[in-house]
Structure 1
Amino acid sequence: CAVDSQDEVRGKAIRLVANKLYPLSYVTENIEQFAKTMILSLMDEQVPDKEVALGTSDDQRSEAECQEASTSDSQLDPSPVERLNTKVAQSGLQSASAVSFTKAQQHSSLFFALCTKKPNLLQFVFDIYGRAPKAVKQSINWHAPDLVRKLGSSCPELLNIISNFPEGSENLLMLDAAIVIPILSSLSKEEVLPIFPRLVDLPMEKFQTALARILQGSAHTGPALTPTEVLVAIHDINPERDGVALKKVCPYVQVLVWHPFFCHDLSFNKIYLQIMEVCTTCFEQKTVFTQHVFVRALNELIERTTVPLLFMRTVIQAVDAFPSLIDFVMEILSKLVTKQVWRMPKLWPGFLKCASQTKPHSFPVLLQLPPTILENVLQKHAILKAPLATYANQAHIRSSLPRQVLEVLGSGNEQKQPSR
């Protein structure tokens, strides 16, 4: 009756099983297995030739029998259930009937009722979602919002799944992430950070709504994340670290990507394009993401052992948006020289781009580069050589520079003009 074609009969049977029988320890596992088997029987877009009921008989029970069972104190015998599971699995492989949404509803409703009693069963739903037929996915999508509301969006099992979702369950994840948005303001920093990369991957309008709730927080606990913590969290997103699934969700695409002195086609991970758009959104909210917020965030990120991939892009945006940060940006560039930024192929082009855009302020930083590195830079970007040499030939600057640097600039053999 738990998979009966009539909604009323099926509903009564499911309530009986979930509320009365499932709590009985000696049948709990068998009921779970039956519910899973009913869903798995649909996975190849096939269903059993005949309806199978949860009970003590292999024959379909009548509505009257189901109604009687709903008021009965009788208990399931595990053995018939086990035999029933085997029969369902076998018959599911023999049928060629295409799965309809109605059929998927019949076969999945019991399992979702059990999920309200045991939330960790949700993992099974996410595990099978990627390979499920369309009708089964539609049924899961239909059940998910109501289930999440019953469990509460702060349910630990749900948050754990959102933080580590299986490959193929992206659409279901985005559905649940959208449901989580209304309660983000009541979550703590520790609860928001694991799901933050998934929120960034939402459509921009939904992300902005999520961001507003995160920054709003609650009257009792304050914001889940401060603006500085939001910026750091955005830059901390890494597809490899945050899960293989995230990387596969966002396949490599051909896009026109900025390069220090020219543009060309590169294979670029789509998730980084989304992060770039999110960063731009933050720059547009200057009353929230002030220059002081960016200073604190960039100061924290520059101290990381591994500087984030999009760090230099944000530095360039920051000095464009807040010209008064020029001295701070020079400090950032100087720290990158100390970190040997020329050995960081993903940051080095951005470093040179920033140095070029901020000249002559950046000349003291460029002169900190090792002579061989500086020579290579000037060979590739000859436009920098003349103004840099002019700057370096100032008496108070020249006297502090190593001879090798002066030679790179073409002024190593020049003699100082005698004073009159």
Structure 2
Amino acid sequence: MVQAFHRHVPILIRELGSSYKELLHIISDPPKGSENLLTLVLQILTQEVAPSSDLIATVKHLYETKLKDVSILIPLLSSLTKDEVLPIFPLLLNLPPEKFQLVLAHILQGSARTGLALTPAEVLIAIHDVVPEKNGPPLKKITDACSACFEQRTVFTQQVLAKALGQMVDRTPLPLLFMRTVIQAVDAFPTLVDVVMEILSKLVSRQIWRLPKLWPGFLKCVSQTQPHSFPVLLELPMPQLESIMKKFPDLRPSLIAYANQPTIRASLPNSALSVLGLENGQDSRSQMHPSDAASSIHAAALT
């Protein structure tokens, strides 16, 4: 009986279509306990064709007035506009992982097929804009959503990540998970390193060390991206540079070797040279021969 039901109902629903008035009437006021059936009907109606404007209006009205379950909107997401999706995005983010995967699929389908909903870069930004546990989902839900995006590398490409990060770095306040995503991005796409260096330099100008929830991520990022991050490190104020030297002692010899290059050294203030132990000539603590310095930088580049 159940198998026959599941076999014949999709055929019937497709024949009726999303503009059939009696079907729309039933959808507008579904019996209690029929939520799963309603979801199935909506999936069938939107599986192969875009939902009709009547169906969209009916389901939106149902959600706003009687059935406050955001999952009933999932089949319609590919046909909703950005302004319609963003207000409900925190609720969509709070759905179970398997349902959020459907959310992503429908939103991205809408972006690719109709130009509606959100682009991949806008999806990533929207995830970061959600404030955890302030009338929103817990932080783990947000981190899991970010990870779900990174799993789809054919959609969330290097270009998409560069665009999203480039927009987020100018946000005030910076998103809580911003540095985590920067690190994930450069891990996933090492060729993003130049873009990431531009972002780190911007963060220095924004005094990232004054943001205790983001500063540890910045430190981790500059450590993982050395020697590319050496110019950024030398942009830091001396107290912060000195603090990093103490926190990452293994970084010191390579950074000194980089800074001791004549063209670099000539551009550094005396305070930076002092922190690096270069104010009186060759660093007495490292005592590096030039060939050793070059080897050190090369080794750092391979780490």
TM-score by length of 1: 0.53
Give, as a single letter, the amino acid of the residue that structure 2 aligns with 1:277: D
Matched, 1:154 2:60: yes
Matched, 1:401 2:292: no
Matched, 1:238 2:131: yes
Change in Cα spacing, 1:395 to 1:159, as seen in structure 2 (3 Å) is farther
Post-superposition offset of 1:332: 0.5
Which residue in the other structure is 2:195 paired with?
A: 328
Post-superposition offset of 1:147: 9.0
Larger CA Rg, structure 1 vs 2: 1
Asked if 1 retains the 8 angstrom alpha-carbon contact of 2:111 and 2:118, the reply is no
Output the CA distance in 1 between the equivalents of 2:63 and 2:139.
Answer: 26
Give, as a single letter, the amino acid of the residue that structure 2 aligns with 1:272: L
In the TM superposition, 1:119-130 aligns within 5 A as none
Which residue in the other structure is 2:249 paired with?
A: 382
Change in Cα spacing, 1:393 to 1:220, as seen in structure 2 (3 Å) is closer
In the TM superposition, 1:210-225 aligns within 5 A as 210-217=103-110, 221-225=114-118
Post-superposition offset of 1:373: 1.3
Post-superposition offset of 1:239: 2.9
Give, as a single letter, the amino acid of the residue that structure 1 aligns with 2:151: E
Post-superposition offset of 1:415: 6.5
Matched, 1:355 2:261: no
3-state SS of paired residue (1:307): coil
Which of the residues 238, 252, 261 maps onto 1:371? Answer: 238
Question: Could you list the per-position Cα deviations for residues 120-143 of structure 1 after superposition, in whole angstroms to 9, with x for gaps in the alignment?
Answer: xxxxxxxxxxxxxxxxxxxx9626
Post-superposition offset of 1:152: 2.5
Output the CA distance in 2 between the equivalents of 1:397 and 1:328.
Answer: 21
Post-superposition offset of 1:202: 1.0
Matched, 1:293 2:156: no
Matched, 1:207 2:126: no
Matched, 1:178 2:37: no
Which residue in the other structure is 1:73 paired with?
A: none
Which residue in the other structure is 1:196 paired with?
A: 89
Question: Could you list the per-position Cα deviations for residues 211-239 of structure 1 after superposition, in whole angstroms to 9, with x for gaps in the alignment?
Answer: 11111128984231111110110111103
Output the CA distance in 1 between the equivalents of 2:258 and 2:92.
Answer: 48
Post-superposition offset of 1:240: 5.6
Change in Cα spacing, 1:355 to 1:326, as seen in structure 2 (3 Å) is same
TM-score by length of 2: 0.72
Q: Supply the RMSD in Å over aligned alpha carbons.
A: 2.8
Output the CA distance in 2 between the equivalents of 1:415 and 1:276.
Answer: 46
Change in Cα spacing, 1:142 to 1:367, as seen in structure 2 (3 Å) is same
3-state SS of paired residue (1:414): coil
Change in Cα spacing, 1:219 to 1:384, as seen in structure 2 (3 Å) is closer
3-state SS of paired residue (2:220): helix
Which residue in the other structure is 1:274 paired with?
A: 141
Give, as a single letter, the amino acid of the residue that structure 1 aligns with 2:63: L
Post-superposition offset of 1:282: 1.1
Give, as a single letter, the amino acid of the residue that structure 2 aligns with 1:227: P
Change in Cα spacing, 1:315 to 1:290, as seen in structure 2 (3 Å) is same
Output the CA distance in 1 between the equivalents of 2:123 and 2:199.
Answer: 20
Give, as a single letter, the amino acid of the residue that structure 2 aligns with 1:142: G
Q: Which runs of 5+ in 1 are unaligned?
A: 1-115, 118-139, 162-171, 251-270
Post-superposition offset of 1:284: 1.6
Change in Cα spacing, 1:415 to 1:277, as seen in structure 2 (3 Å) is closer
Q: Which runs of 5+ in 2 are unaligned?
A: 1-27, 43-54, 284-303
Matched, 1:317 2:184: yes
Output the CA distance in 1 between the equivalents of 2:247 and 2:112.
Answer: 56
Output the CA distance in 1 between the equivalents of 2:172 and 2:111.
Answer: 34
Asked if 2 retains the 8 angstrom alpha-carbon contact of 1:215 and 1:225, the reply is yes
Give the paired residue count: 241
Which residue in the other structure is 1:76 paired with?
A: none
Give, as a single letter, the amino acid of the residue that structure 1 aligns with 2:246: Q
Which residue in the other structure is 2:24 paired with?
A: none
Change in Cα spacing, 1:272 to 1:239, as seen in structure 2 (3 Å) is closer
Output the CA distance in 1 between the equivalents of 2:97 and 2:82.
Answer: 21
Output the CA distance in 2 between the equivalents of 1:218 and 1:364.
Answer: 39
Change in Cα spacing, 1:214 to 1:305, as seen in structure 2 (3 Å) is same
Which residue in the other structure is 1:142 paired with?
A: 33
Between stretches 210-219 and 278-287, larger displacement belongs to 210-219
Post-superposition offset of 1:177: 1.9
In the TM superposition, 1:243-262 aligns within 5 A as 243=135, 246=136
